[in-house]
Amino acid sequence: MRFFIALLTGLFLATAPVAAQDPLPSWRQTGTKERILTFINQVTSPKSRFFVPREDRIAVFDNDGTLLLEQPIYVEVLQVIDRLRSIALSQPSLRDVQPYKAALDNDIAAITAMGSPALIDLVAKTNAGMSPDEFRSAVEAWFKTTRHPRFGKPLDQLTYQPMVELIRLLKNRGFKVYIVTGSGVEFVRAFSQKAYGIPPENVIGSTGKLSVTRNGNTLNLVREPHIDRINDGPGKVIGISETIGKRPILAFGNSDGDYEMLQWTTEGTGARLGAFVHHDDAKREYHYDRNSSVGRLNRGLDDAPGRHWLIISMEKDWKRIFP
Amino acid sequence: MRFFIALLTGLFLATAPVAAQDPLPSWRQTGTKERILTFINQVTSPKSRFFVPREDRIAVFDNDGTLLLEQPIYVEVLQVIDRLRSIALSQPSLRDVQPYKAALDNDIAAITAMGSPALIDLVAKTNAGMSPDEFRSAVEAWFKTTRHPRFGKPLDQLTYQPMVELIRLLKNRGFKVYIVTGSGVEFVRAFSQKAYGIPPENVIGSTGKLSVTRNGNTLNLVREPHIDRINDGPGKVIGISETIGKRPILAFGNSDGDYEMLQWTTEGTGARLGAFVHHDDAKREYHYDRNSSVGRLNRGLDDAPGRHWLIISMEKDWKRIFP
């Protein structure tokens, strides 16, 4: 009997610290954290009038600028610049041709100035011909050799620690957590499990055309140099509908490209939470919003109060930025 | 202490019957069942040299003819015929125009003779203008009022009980189970949870174009009358790659439209299982294969032995067909 009591006590000791522990230690107590925790409690407590059954607890997160550093430019574009550079080095005739010249000069401003459609086209073209698996291996290898110009760390390690904690908490409370990104789906799948604990099948992103080819008796999948679907703005709503088939109850983004995703999420019935990460911390990260060519947040800032969306201040709400 | 022993005994009694229970009671002991169970044990036993970690245990199933009755024609086409009929009844000028006339005459042979591309086009056109949610509700309502011409039961209840048991077993053993169907993704999502315990986000199917429209300040998703992606044949491999981003380790189908999905699955390294359900039971279900216009299985029958794919005989391997 003594052993049995010891067993029970052991069980109690094993579970008690978990309940007492702060699930979001990198968030300051500024009101934002409390509002997030209140929402999670409301939708997960069976007695709450806002209770949501487990199967409908869908949470969606933008990637670049919401979970991961996106300055001086989206990580995927840095990979493309490196690809352009290595192509130019092997084909000298391209060295004075744009965008290869800009890549050789590491002229990120010139690359950014090309604009989104041209950039997305470049992403598709520079990584064509590989299978999705080969591409993912190439991206994994690239992350190992690349460092951020300002922080000197591998780019897939410059995740936002407060958001990683939030994802973990949501999963513990029965949410299915998806990344819904404008970046290429295979690019983000290359690091989503390691960086956030989000498996490949929970990443929705822009897609390039794939083709199935036959090598003798064996099938191969090959990336074609053409964009299939751009998962940005209203495209994120379409991506969510096609892949999940349910309206999320929580959506976090950081730019106007996430506006429709937040709108779609919070226009559903019942308790909903929409939030923008506001990059207002020049000291520890970057300060940009209305006039930035990367991750512009303009309309979102204007409309957030009226739509009851949270604005997360990186400077005030977050104790720590990176892991 | 006595209480503790009682507790342990209670735990033992509570778990023992589960272990002893046959997880596939509707399968006869013909060798097929044993081969399926051996595969599941191999990939889920940590000490097995074929062990596959939980996150890579992806299983994919075709829907029509593999999990659900597909005769006299795919269930989705029966819904389209009913839509055509109700359109024709409200627009008398269409009554002598094909395919409305065939629908009014319930001439399934004439509809089938249109061929797959025309049928898929019809599916998109007859259900356009609704939101995905409205469409799903319409499909749910349709199932409630429709009965199978031969079996007299609701069409979403004519699932194959042995396959429902297999899906349950796979989920219990840590597999993520997906439906990969040539039918429209929203159509199958309308009943997948109830019929098989497979949630909407685990259904990959053909998709129609969606558009995002604004009604005042509110977003709406609308089904356009155009096909986006046909999830059949090689398209199933592309759908799996885009949505899951992993190669499955188990694939079950019943027609040549599933050939590439089985091939892609079983060409991976390690233990793999591919299988065709063979409709060879005219008495309890239907007998069709090489010459059928619905669910044709020809190349698959020829190549199955060489590729070590199982052929499941509905007549010999299944004790029961329907729940």
- pLDDT the model gives residue B284: 98
For A77-126, write each residue's pLDDT tens digit. Answer: 999 999 999 999 999 999 999 899 999 999 998 998 888 788 888 888 88
- pLDDT the model gives residue A2: 47
- pLDDT the model gives residue B20: 65
Q: Does ipTM exceed 0.85?
A: yes
Half-sphere exposure of B162 (CA within 13 A, CB side): 22
Positive or negative CA dihedral for B311, B317, B322, B323? negative
**Mean pLDDT for chain A overall:** 93
Interface test with B, best of A5, A242, A266 (most B CBs within 10 A): A242
- pLDDT the model gives residue A16: 45
For A160-216, write each residue's pLDDT tens digit. Answer: 999 999 999 999 999 999 999 999 999 999 999 999 999 999 999 999 999 999 988
- pLDDT the model gives residue B262: 98
Q: Identify which of A7, A221, A243 has the shortest CB distance to residue B243.
A: A243
How far off is chain B from A1, nearest CA to CA, in Å? 4
Contacts of B224 in chain A (CB under 8 A): none
- pLDDT the model gives residue B19: 53
Domains of chain A: 23-71+154-317 (3.40.50.1000)
For A301-318, write each residue's pLDDT tens digit. Answer: 999 999 999 999 999 999
Do A245 and B185 lie within an 8 Å CB cutoff? yes
Do B201 and A238 lie within an 8 Å CB cutoff? no
Contacts of B203 in chain A (CB under 8 A): 245
Higher pLDDT, residue A12 or A67: A67
Do B201 and A132 lie within an 8 Å CB cutoff? no
Closest-approach residue (CA) in chain A for B186: A245
Interface test with A, best of B177, B209, B221 (most A CBs within 10 A): B221
For chain A, which residues lie within 8 Å of any Cβ of chain B, measuring from their own Cβ? Answer: 1-4, 7, 55, 58, 132, 176, 185-186, 189, 193, 199-201, 203, 207, 210-212, 218-219, 221, 234, 237-238, 241-246, 260, 263-264, 267
Contacts of A260 in chain B (CB under 8 A): 212, 219
Do B245 and A201 lie within an 8 Å CB cutoff? yes
Instruction: Write out the two tokens for A57.
Output: 């607890």
Instruction: State the Cα–Cα distance between residues A75 and A64, nearest whole angstrom.
Output: 8
- pLDDT the model gives residue B130: 94
Instruction: Write out the two tokens for A68.
Output: 């991961």
DSSP A98-166: TTHHHHHTT-HHHHHHT-HHHHHHHHHHHTTTS-HHHHHHHHHHHHHH-B-TTT-SBGGG-B-HHHHHH
Contacts of B213 in chain A (CB under 8 A): none
Q: Identify which of B176, B219, B245 has the shortest CB distance to residue A189.
A: B245
Which residue do the tokens 């209770």 mark?
A: A51
Q: Among A18-22, A30-34, A50-54, B32-36, which is the least confidently predicted range?
A: A18-22
Give SS3 for A42. Answer: helix
For A217-274, write each residue's pLDDT tens digit. Answer: 899 999 999 999 999 999 999 999 999 999 999 999 999 999 999 999 999 999 999 9
Instruction: State the Cα–Cα distance between residues A177 and A185, nearest whole angstrom.
Output: 15
For B88-143, write each residue's pLDDT tens digit. Answer: 999 999 999 989 999 999 999 899 888 878 888 888 888 899 999 999 999 999 99
Q: Which of A57, A254, A29 is nearest to B201 (CA)?
A: A57
How far off is chain B from A286, nearest CA to CA, in Å? 32
Instruction: State the Cα–Cα distance between residues A278 and A310, nearest whole angstrom.
Output: 10
Do A246 and B200 lie within an 8 Å CB cutoff? yes
Report the 3 state secondary structure along chain B.
Answer: CHHHHHHHHHHHHHHHHHHHCCCCCCECCCCHHHHHHHHHHHHHCCCCCCCCCHHHCEEEECCECCCECCCCCCHHHHHHHHHHHHHHHHCHHHCCCCCHHHHHCCCHHHHHHCCHHHHHHHHHHHCCCCCHHHHHHHHHHHHHHCECCCCCCEHHHCECHHHHHHHHHHHHCCCEEEEEEEEEHHHHHCCHHHHHCCCHHHEEEEEEEEEEEEECCEEEEEEEEEEEECCCCHHHHHHHHHHCCCCCCEEEECCHHHHHHHHHHHCCCCCCEEEEEECECCCCCCECCCCCCCCCCCHHHHHHHHHCCEEEEHHHHECCCCC
Do B212 and A234 lie within an 8 Å CB cutoff? yes
How far off is chain B from A232, nearest CA to CA, in Å? 12
**Burial annotation B184-206 (CB, 10 A radius, 16+ → b, else e):** bbbbbbbbbeebbebbbbbbbbb
- pLDDT the model gives residue A130: 94
Do B252 and B61 touch, CB atoms closer than 8 A?
A: yes
Report the 3 state secondary structure along A183-207.
Answer: EEHHHHHCCHHHHHCCCHHHEEEEE
How far off is chain B from A247, nearest CA to CA, in Å? 10
Do B108 and B84 touch, CB atoms closer than 8 A?
A: no
How far off is chain B from A46, nearest CA to CA, in Å? 21
Contacts of B267 in chain A (CB under 8 A): 218-219
Which regions in chain B score pLDDT beneath 50?
A: 1-18
